[in-house]
Copies of this chain bind each other. A is one copy, B any other.
Amino acid sequence: MDKIATQSPRQKRDPEETRKRILKAAKKEFAQLGLAGARVDTIADRAKANKRMIYHYFGNKEDLFQAVIEEAYLDIRAAERKLKLELLEPVEAIKALVRFSWDYYLKNPEFLALVNSENLHRARHLKKAQTIIEVHGRFIGMVEEILQRGVGQGVFRPDVDPVQLVITIAGISYYYQTNRYTGSIIFQRDLMSDEAREERLNFNIDTILRLLRP
């Protein structure tokens, strides 16, 4: 739909703010419609920015998508770091991590959609983002350290690959949530009701603890 003579007042001159507004609007749009389905016009509208500014700050649609992807990956790791898992007892740390995955996806469903989109594009945007690789490496290191502490205390079995664990923790929440629409149809059950969500989270914690149990 065209905006007709809405004559929005000229935007304040705050470059950093403008850039952020665009990025936020783009995240929403890309999450909702994918790279191909997203519309630059809509992003501009949502950002209350001039379309020209998108090209000014980000180059083109694809580069904007890349910026969105990068930010999304940095955000989730930043949020996770705030948990300070390394300060918790092993079992508590793992529980917190499972809960974090579940909650983060729940509060940031765009993240799931963006990751799916990025995989559709064979991760060609993520490939260029060196920082993310580093940040992620540190995350795996931390999980490994938790596992070792748990093994030392006799609460976890040895020889669990931290990468397999992390993938499993993510997978059991991710799949449930990213497929909430098809899942609700196929299983004929509202997967996202309060009870359903609570039940699933507990199921996931149980699954992971059983997996680690000696």
Contacts and interface: CB of A to CB of B under 8 A. Distances in A.
Interface of A: 1-2, 4-5, 15, 32-37, 55-57, 59-60, 63, 73, 113, 115-123, 126-127, 132-133, 136-137, 140, 161, 163-164, 166-168, 170-172, 174-176, 178-189, 199-200, 203, 206-207, 210-211, 213
Given A55-B2, A175-B174, A119 B34 contact: no
B185 A176 contact: no
A35 B120 CA distance: 11
Contacts of A122: 181
Interface centre among A73, A187, A189 (most CB of B within 10 A): A187
Contacts of A189: 163
A133 B37 contact: no
Copies of the chain in the assembly: 4
Interface centre among A36, A127, A140 (most CB of B within 10 A): A36
A84 B209 CA distance: 31
Nearest to A33: B36
A122 B184 CA distance: 10
B163 A187 contact: yes
Contacts of A179: 115, 119
